[in-house]
Amino acid sequence: MVFSPSSKDHGDQEHHDNAKALERLAGLVARFDSRGHKSSGCYADFIRWCGDTGAVMDGKFVHGHLASSHRKNEKFLLNLLVEMYGKWRDTLQARAVFDAIKRKNVFSWNTMLQVYVQNDRPRDAIELFRAMDLEGVSSGFGSDPFLATGLVNLYGKSGLVDEAVAALDRMRRGDRDVIAWTTAIAALARNREFPAAIHLFREMALEGARANNLTLLAALDACAGQRDPRSGAVIHAAAVELGFQSNAIVGTSIAHMYAKCGDLDRASAAFAGIAVKDSVAWNTIIAAHVENRRPREALDLFESMLEKHSSSFSSTPTVASFTAIISGYARQGDAEEALALFRRMQHEGIVPNHVTFVVVLFVCSHRGLIEEGWRQYGSMATDYGITPTKEHWDCVLDLFALLKNRGGKDP
């Protein structure tokens, strides 16, 4: 039997009439309890329905009724209760039911493990998996691609990269789909195991698995972190072959990778190949020129962005771009250009943020512009309501030191 409420029942559920729902359930369970051999299936159908629909009150009523019945120790039904609580994200109650199961079977362990995986509880999942080993239980998760991929992800989030790769290796070859590979590559890149992530991408290609846009992003991130333009070019070629090079997200990642490797020409070419450039793409290529000490070219790009796309962008990326270019001039020691751009930013009505003022105060303190520094520090709080942070105070202390060295009085 599959539980399916009538139209009236459905209306009751829609209006969350818990009293009627519980009355219905009591009658339903009582009716099937009288037939004994059908009661287990009735419970199972109702437990599944409660888990899928989020009927918490009904589900807890089923649990309570089951606990007081002669079927309270049936592993099949208790496993379903664990699954039900997991779907409601109630991992504590799911674990309480799991712990109460006598002589747990493999399905019991795997159900609890899946609850932790689905609810992003990496430490709990790992501890449970290790407990399985101590109990001598073989999870068989290598034959369950969803659960195995979830473990790869959890190991990666916990920084256990060796275990993540081992979990991938334990999967059968035919079950290692693009999601499993991508999860493992991303886990390695996220934990700064860049060479291993790049190697795994190559291994994936050799095994014949077809990458998707998320795979490319993870691998490109690893190449950027490793400053490995040769491997980056291989992944770039894969993106072209798969038709992703003009995608805004992938194209931006390619440009970012080349910029991190110091190849602005290829970064610019990748940026030019993006079909529809969003604010992230523009800010990435602007930041690339700033980081590679090309602030004037960065300013040209910024002005081009404003001219072509200002109406479609919010002000937030504009602040970031202004600040990045001001920072670029500051790194080159060009205080005059940095402050001129800051004034232009204010003149155009762009509100500076706390990062902008850190850069401006840095410029003033390192170029000996004491009066300008004090003026900007005062403006930060009075005109923009920005509370000073440690970074601001460090620059202020530098201004104090300059003032004392020149024999001046405290402002």
Query: What residues contact residue 52 under an 8 Å CB cut-off, 6+ apart?
Result: 87
| 129-139: average pLDDT | 72
How far apart are alpha carbons 176 and 323 in whole angstroms? Answer: 44
φ/ψ of 212, rounded to 5, equals -115, -175
Measured between its terminal Cα atoms, the distance across the chain in Å is 83
**Mean pLDDT calculated for residue range 362-366:** 86
Higher-confidence residue: 302 or 192? 192
Residue 318: predicted pLDDT: 74
- DSSP for 40-109 reads HHHHHHHHHHHHHHT-HHHHHHHHHHHHTSTTTT-HHHHHHHHHHHHHTT-HHHHHHHHHH-SS--HHHH
Please, which pLDDT band fits residue 401 given cuts at 50, 70 and 90?
confident
Give the alpha-carbon dihedral of 163, 166, 168, 169, to 10 degrees.
180
User: What are the pLDDT digits (tens) for 290-325?
Assistant: 888 888 888 788 778 777 665 545 545 578 878 888
Residues 85-120 have pLDDT tens digits of 999 999 999 999 999 998 888 889 889 988 988 888
Mean pLDDT to the nearest integer, 260-270: 94
Identify the pLDDT of residue 31: 54
Question: Which of 21-25, 119-123, 405-409 is most confident?
Answer: 119-123
Residue 260 has pLDDT above 50, yes or no: yes
Tell me how far CA of residue 322 lies from CA of 171, 352, 355, in angstroms: 49, 9, 11
Q: Has residue 14 got a pLDDT over 50?
A: no
pLDDT at 338: 87
CA 253 to chain centre: 16
Q: Specify the pLDDT at position 313.
A: 54
Q: CA 398 to CA 123: how far, in whole Å?
A: 45
pLDDT at residue 30, as a whole number: 58
Backbone angles phi and psi of 263, in degrees to 5: -105, 85
pLDDT, one tens digit per residue, over 152-164 is: 888 888 888 888 8
Question: Which of 44-48, 224-228, 328-332 comes out lowest in average pLDDT?
Answer: 328-332
If pLDDT is split at 50, 70 and 90, which confidence band does 3 have?
very low
Question: Sorting pLDDT into bands at 50, 70 and 90, what band is 25?
Answer: low
pLDDT confidence tier of residue 220, bands split at 50, 70 and 90 = very high
Mean pLDDT along residues 17-22: 54
User: Of 29, 27, 19, 107, nearest to 69 (Cα)?
Assistant: 29
In angstroms, rounded to a whole number, what is the distance separating the alpha carbons of residues 381 and 387? 6
Q: Which residues neighbour 96 within 8 Å (Cβ) at sequence distance 6 or greater?
A: none
Q: What per-residue confidence (pLDDT) applies to 23?
A: 61
Confidence of residue 141 (pLDDT cuts 50, 70, 90): low
Alpha-carbon distance of 110 to 138, in angstroms, equals 10
Asked if residue 216 lies in contact with residue 238, where contact means CB atoms within 8 angstroms, the answer is yes
pLDDT 10s digits, 45-80: 888 889 998 888 888 888 987 888 777 788 889 999
List the single range of 244-253, 290-299, 314-323, 338-347 with lowest mean pLDDT: 314-323
What is the pLDDT, as a whole number, of residue 10?
44
- Of residues 398 and 111, more confidence is placed in 111
pLDDT band at 2 (very low <50, low <70, confident <90, very high): very low
Output the average pLDDT for the chain.
82
Asked if residues 136 and 128 have their Cβ atoms less than 8 Å apart, the reply is: no
Determine contact, residues 189/221, Cβ cutoff 8 Å: yes
| Integer Cα distance of 82 and 137 in angstroms | 18
